[in-house]
Copies of this chain bind each other. A is one copy, B any other.
């Protein structure tokens, strides 16, 4: 059913019908109601592609997806979906070929030019992220999930990574730990930097010098969690506590600790960051995992919300949200054990 045909059935012009459905004021309430009603009855729905061509709006939010299968991704998307379900906006997932730099910029450039999306969400920004500069230059609305230090105005939503890790680390220090290892995310992303800062500040404010031998960076995998933890624990002067970047990393740390005949929460303390997954909960781990917690799903929902505001004209300058992170103490943290004499 096309507009023309539909309008004819109603005895109205396409103009009026279009306006009635789009909520323009210059159409009488009576007419509007009738049009809306008949549209449902006859099943008329405007052709999206025609609307998009004419209006220039794409009706979609772009999310560029890296190749690393990040488990956060699904949660974030589910959160976005939750918000967008009532909206007439969908999510366009754009595959990224290689993390090769040039390619990536090219991808964003094309995405913008192609006019397939009204806005873009940028993930895992770097301190000086060229994607941000590019999108700003091209005038494409975008929201950064995370933050960047770049000298370009941008809307962002981030969690307080630094504060979270600082508190986590401080807490471990308060428990008497002095050798605290840090298993961080991949180097380069701002959040990893912030977490590193939080870690260092906590140590330094207690007069402890960070030991580079106790700091590691890498993907959030069980495997790396294990490897790093294991190699740290096998050092001559092993750590008594760990701060870990993700639930998967935590799993690896648990394994490593166990594999050495030690016990998490007694011999080694651990605090990890928990993005709140329905399928793996910190509280259920044995011993239950002390965690800095912030819902990835909620972030997705809010990001979708903010992007919608961005699209409808709100200034990026007004959109800066820093979410506090909970620190939830459970059994994986405990006072440092006196070295056996």
Contact = CB atoms under 8 A, between A and B. Distances in A.
Contact of A114 (B48, B58, B74, B92): B48
A75 B69 contact: yes
A241 interface: no
Nearest to A278: B69
A65 B248 CA distance: 24
Interface in A67-116: 67-71, 73-75, 77-78, 80-82, 84-86, 90-97, 110, 113-116
A110 B97 CA distance: 31
Contact of A95 (B58, B91, B92, B255): B91
Contacts of A226: 284
A69 B300 CA distance: 12
Contacts of A252: 284
A286 interface: yes
Interface in A299-332: none
A281 interface: yes
Interface stretch (A14-22, A215-223, A265-273): A215-223
| Among A43, A77, A248, A252: residue with most chain B CB under 10 A | A77
18 contacts: A47-B115, A48-B115, A49-B56, A49-B115, A52-B52, A52-B53, A59-B116, A67-B78, A68-B78, A69-B277, A80-B95, A85-B96, A85-B97, A90-B92, A226-B284, A248-B279, A248-B280, A251-B280
Given A73-B73, A81-B96, A223-B279, 20 more contacts: A43-B113, A47-B53, A47-B115, A48-B114, A49-B49, A49-B58, A59-B116, A65-B81, A71-B279, A73-B77, A74-B77, A81-B93, A86-B97, A90-B93, A92-B93, A93-B93, A219-B279, A248-B279, A255-B286, A259-B286
